[in-house]
Structures are given as C-alpha cells and as structure tokens.
Amino acid sequence: MTSPSLEVSHSRPNVSKSTVRTRPLALQLPFTLPQVAGHGSNTVSVDQLTVPEKAREALRRAYEAWDRKDTKQSRMWAIRALQVHPYFGPALSLLGILELDEGHPADAIIGLQQALQYNPNSPRTYLALASAYNEMHNNTDALYALSIMAKLLPDSWQLHYEVGRAYLGQARFNAALEEFNRAQQSAATKVPEEIHIGKAHALLGLRNYPAARDEFETVLRKSPNGPYAAESGQLTVLLDSQLKKPAPKPDATAHGSTPPRMEQ
C-alpha cells in the first residue's frame, strides 16, 4: 500500500489531507504610499498636471481606504476618480488589483492591461498583472510582465517572489529556489512568510524534504496564528510521517510490493 502522496500546485490555497496549494502574492498596495500630485510630492510630472484635482483627490482617498484594508471604499473612490478622468492609469490599476485581491484574476488582467495603456511605467501594475497571470497558470506571460517590471524596480522582493512562483508553475524548481532566495535577500531583516512557503514548495519539488520541513517550521515559529500556519502545520506532520518511515528492503519491489514514496 502506498503512502499519502504530496501534490504541489501553485494557485490559491486549498489544503486537504495531502494536497497543498500556495497562496498568491499578498499584494500590499502600495509598496510605499504613492504620491499624488498636489499632495506632498515636490516633483509633479506633466502627465500628472493634466489630471483634474478632483480625480487626484479621489485617488488619494482610494489609496487611504486600501491602506485601511477597506476595499469597498477603495473601489468607490477609484471609480469616482475615473468618472472625473476616465483614462487615469493609477485608478485603473487599483481597480485591477482589487479584482485580483478578491479572487478574480481574469477580470484583473483585463483591467491591468488597460491601466498600462495609460500608465506604462508602473512597476506595481506589472507586478499585479504577473500575479494574475500566475493565478491563471499562464506563467510565460507572467514572466514577460516581470521582465518589464525588473527594468523599473529591480530590487523588489515581490518581483523575485513572483518570478519564483512562475518557475514553480513551470516545474523549474532549482530556478524557483534561486528566485525565492533572492527575494529573501531583498526583503532584508523582515522576511515575509510567503517567501518561506515558496522556498518550501521548491524544495518539495526537488525532493529535499528535510529542508522543506525546516521552511514550514520557520513559518510556524514566526507566525503560529498567521494565514500560512494551517498549511505549514499539516505539511510538517505529513513530512514527519514520511521521514520517520524506514527505508524499503532491497528486494521489496522484486516481490511486487510498492515501497513508501512521496509523489509530486
């Protein structure tokens, strides 16, 4: 009798007895609260000057609501900004990110692509677009969006995290692990849980189960009640059960029996 398999996929979480799905990047918009022309920025671009004050004020309120995790108010103010200025790229981008955050990656892709038509130099928009593509298992397009973002914001840990997710989706586990390590280096002292989860899944793909277990253990130690605690706890138990099993006898398969194994 075979042991429970360990299936690794890379979309939204849906943990069952032996199935793990990693979460998408938890976008914290913005990386730093963006400046809106006329509200604390000393440098105002020509494009910003063409945006009506009412639209910029509405966007500022939308960002503030997002910062409070009030998505309903954030959406309302972003829509109001677009009612004043229909081709306002940052407002379109925010609406796309809200769609992604609410679990609608296909709708997010449409909105984010439109946002890039009017705001083509926004690393935040390329990041969200790549995350949406990864959600849809369209890893090639995700990597293309990230290649553009890398020219705009090369030192972002989110950039390397999403590249790692894309490589996981392509079963390029060594490359994924390298990107998650880069993300960890870029994150400096406070390493987000997502990075440890990403590294763990890459290590599972490489069948390095002890190292994968260490990553899950790190998540449990750093955030025992966090969003990844249940997944990490269940996988730690499963890995423990697998690692403690004795190695099969040399002639086990010769007599028709199947040795315990972990599948991916």
Fold of 48-151: 1.25.40
Pick from 34, 40, 43: nearest CA to 66: 34
Domain boundaries, the chain: 48-151, 155-244
206 is written with which tokens?
A: 């490489």
pLDDT tens-digit profile, the chain (264 residues): 333 334 444 443 333 333 334 444 444 433 444 444 444 433 334 555 589 999 999 999 999 999 898 999 999 999 999 999 999 999 999 999 999 999 999 999 999 999 999 999 999 999 999 999 999 999 999 999 999 999 999 989 999 999 999 999 999 999 999 999 999 999 877 888 999 999 999 999 999 999 999 999 999 999 999 888 999 999 999 999 888 866 556 554 444 444 444 444
Regarding pTM above 0.85, the answer is no
User: At a CB cut-off of 8 Å and minimum separation 6, what does 259 contact?
Assistant: 247, 248, 252, 253
183 is written with which tokens?
A: 């993300």
Q: pLDDT tens-digit profile of 130-141?
A: 999 999 999 999
Pick from 117, 124, 111: nearest CA to 47: 117
User: At a CB cut-off of 8 Å and minimum separation 6, what does 150 contact?
Assistant: 159
Matching fold, domains 48-151 and 155-244:
yes
End-to-end CA gap in the chain = 17
77 is written with which tokens?
A: 């103010």
Tell me yes or no: is domain 155-244 CATH 3.40.50.300: no
